[in-house]
Copies of this chain bind each other. A is one copy, B any other.
Amino acid sequence: MNALVLSNIKCGECPIRHRAVCSRCEGADLDILEKIKVYRSFKAGEQILWRGEAMDFVASVVHGVATLGKTLEDGRTQMVGLLLPSDFIGRPGRDRVEFDVVAASDVTLCCFERKPFENLLSVTPDLSKRLVEIALDELDAARDWMLLLGRKTAREKIATFIDMLIRRSSVEGLTAPHDALVLPLSREEIANYLGLTLETVSRQLSALKAQGILRFNDRRSFTVLSPDALHDITGNDCLH
């Protein structure tokens, strides 16, 4: 991976400190992380990692949005993860990446060289515990997404996607002025995430607008006029 190397900010002032992989670390452990971390930034559209490439770094997303994608031999692609600030990239114990990682917006990463990070991991229970939690949360999310991809209609997929944005926006800075939400992805990227085509995404968004459930300010930002109606469309059952 090639990217601009930035000057670091202090971990104590880091906006993702409370949720990232380092959130449980304090004192000496944090000092070590502080020492081995390097900030890197990527422009929107830049590829952060290629599938199959050697993975020398693991990283946390500090700012921006990145996507994890898989591709079939004929070029069809499916997004298998959306990385928002505080999400973790990389997998200790594996030295190659299993998918492409692309910056969907301008992205800043907090990178750790893999080897030192792995060494630290084996002597820092706070770090490895948090990493297990993160991996298991991702697994839950992946399974929810399997239900969406395998069984939901286009309408339900879009509603679920926006519902998820609402849930994460509170924490992640996906908001615009006046409670408006920002779509972190283009229509094509949303389609890739939902297992649809960009035309279907566009039509379903238009339909939600026509029904008075959404109001668009511009192509990338909108207001949810009826969160309850939206939630009803997701198809999720009541249990959370």
- Other CB < 8 Å A-B pairs besides A73-B235, A135-B136, 6 of them? A70-B147, A72-B237, A91-B136, A93-B136, A135-B139, A149-B149
- Interface bracket on A: 35 or more
Flag A67-84 by CB within 8 Å of B: 1 or 0 each.
010111110111011000
Cβ B146 vs Cβ A142 within 8 A: yes
Q: Which of A124-166 contact B (CB under 8 A)?
A: 125, 128, 131-133, 135-136, 138-140, 142-147, 149-152
Chain B residues within an 8 Å CB radius of A91: 136
Q: When chains A and B are docked, how far (Å) is the Cα of A237 from the Cα of B144? A: 26
Report whether A147 and B80 are in contact in the complex, using a CB–CB cutoff of 8 Å.
Answer: yes
Question: Within 8 Å CB of A94, what residues of B?
Answer: 136
A239 sits at the interface (CB 8 A): yes
Give me 30 A-to-B residue pairs in the complex whose CB atoms sit less than 8 angstroms apart, sorted by A's number: A68-B143, A70-B143, A70-B146, A70-B147, A71-B237, A72-B147, A72-B151, A72-B237, A73-B236, A73-B237, A73-B238, A74-B235, A76-B235, A77-B151, A78-B146, A78-B150, A80-B143, A80-B147, A81-B143, A92-B132, A93-B132, A93-B133, A98-B143, A128-B128, A135-B135, A142-B143, A146-B146, A149-B150, A149-B195, A150-B195
Interface residue A51 (Cβ < 8 Å from any Cβ of B): yes
Contact A140 B98 (CB under 8 A): yes
Complex A-B, nearest 6 residue pairs according to Cβ-Cβ distance, in ascending order: A150-B195, A142-B142, A149-B149, A73-B237, A80-B143, A78-B150
- Measured between alpha carbons, how far is A214 from B131 in the docked complex, in Å? 43
Contacts of A144 on B, CB cut-off 8 Å?
70
Could you say how many copies of this chain the assembly holds? Answer: 2
Q: Does A122 contact B (CB under 8 A)?
A: yes
Residues 172-219 of A contacting B (Cβ, < 8 Å): 194-195
| Residues of A bordering B, CB below 8 Å | 51-52, 68, 70-74, 76-78, 80-81, 91-94, 98-99, 122, 125, 128, 131-133, 135-136, 138-140, 142-147, 149-152, 194-195, 235-239
Contacting pair B78 A147 (CB below 8 A): yes
B residues less than 8 Å from A238 (CB atoms): 73
Q: Which residues of B contact A78 (CB under 8 A)?
A: 146-147, 150-151
Chain B residues whose CB sits within 8 angstroms of the CB of A194 once the complex forms: 150
Q: How far is the CB of A202 from chain B (nearest CB, A)?
A: 18
